[in-house]
Structure 1
Amino acid sequence: MGHYPTGVAAITSVAADGSPLVLVVGTFTSVSLDPPLVGFLPDRRSASWGAIEQTGRFAVNVLGADQAALCGQLAGKGDKFAGVDYSLSGRGLPLLDGCLLTIECTIASVQDAGDHVFVLGAVEEMAVRREGNPMLFLRGKFGGFTAQV
């Protein structure tokens, strides 16, 4: 499956104590336009996903190809938000500065999917934050999209 490119997104939320939560995924997808639904597939053992699931809501932050350093930090260990610029939306969800698109959701369902779970999100709000080249992940490396036509 490493030969199939995927987009890269940071799934964010806020813990009960007010601290920001984040999980970087390469499995984000649009599911339905009517009603608007999106989905992603975190590893069922992910502590970050477990914390986000408890909140019942999340924001998808679609990363640009120029945000590799941010992606690495958010996917790492320790204080993932140290020095990271973000703002809280009207719904209280962290929206990362510089991302291409944000989508705020409530968790509609979580289904078993082998060693992962499939998270279905009901879209509450969506905004294009800037135009740009999306970050892609292919064969263990990050990159961008190059149009051929």
Structure 2
Amino acid sequence: MSAEPTLAEHAELSGPDAATLRQVMGHFCTGVAVITAHDGERPHGFTCQSVVSLSLEPPFVSFCPTKKSTSWPLLREARHLCINVLAHDQKAIASGFAVSGADKFDGVSWAPAANGAPAIDGTLARIDATVEVEHDAGDHTIVIARITDLTADVDREPLLFFKGGFGDFNAH
């Protein structure tokens, strides 16, 4: 019987190339959120598919912005976030907030959440949170945020991301 590989031996193993990793992981269906903040002068936000409920006690949520994001540093500085879980009919919002440098809030109806971050109208759910800690993770950052308030519209259906595209439960 052979021994378990050591951490150093694991580090020497090569992984899949980025294209294969993206293609295979694309088979994991996720929800779609727009994470927003307000810096006191203007709103900021970006689309994110990596939102995860992390802990009930204390109430933590996690998400992973790319290190190339120009929006995340602005949200990080504001600290108070709103994670807007998008509904099935909000594909245009998801696409608009995924574009770098655009006026992402143009034509988007929103109001300040209790923490001041933009809460987008018509979403499936809203999670207000405050950034607690970040961890380096390759080409992304793992953000852990403390949930301060949340609500959901039980009558709405989710916007989903699957195989590189947006859809819903009824998509064919």
TM-score band w.r.t. shorter chain? over 0.9
Identity, % of aligned positions: 37
Q: Given the alignment, which residue of 16, 23, 27 partners 1:3?
A: 27
In the alignment, is the contact (CA less than 8 A) between 2:82 and 2:113 conserved in 1? no
Greater CA drift, 65-74 or 112-121 = 65-74
Task: Say which SS state the counterpart of residue 77 (structure 2) adopts.
Answer: helix
Please tell me whether residue 127 in structure 1 is matched to residue 159 in structure 2: no
2: CA distance, partners of 1:60 / 1:108:
15
Structure 1: which amino acid aligns with 2:163?
Answer: R
User: RCO (CA 8 Å, sep 6+): is it higher in 1 or 2?
Assistant: 1
Structure 2 regions of 5+ residues with no counterpart? Answer: 1-24
- Runs of 4+ in structure 1 deviating by more than 2 angstroms, as ranges, are none
Structure 1: which amino acid aligns with 2:86?
Answer: L
Structure 1 regions of 5+ residues with no counterpart? Answer: none
Please tell me whether residue 34 in structure 1 is matched to residue 57 in structure 2: yes
Q: Given the alignment, which residue of 111, 116, 137 partners 1:113?
A: 137
RMSD value over aligned CA atoms?
1.2
Q: Who wins on radius of gyration, i.e. which is larger?
A: 2
TM-score by length of 2: 0.80
Give 1:28 deviation, angstroms.
Answer: 0.5
Q: How has the CA–CA distance of structure 1 residues 130 and 73 changed in structure 2, closer, same or farther, with 3 Å as cutoff?
A: farther
2: CA distance, partners of 1:123 / 1:139:
30
Q: Given the alignment, which residue of 55, 65, 71 partners 2:88?
A: 65
Choose between structure 1 and 2: higher helix proportion.
2
Equivalenced residues, count:
145
Please tell me whether residue 51 in structure 1 is matched to residue 54 in structure 2: no
Give 1:130 deviation, angstroms.
Answer: 5.1
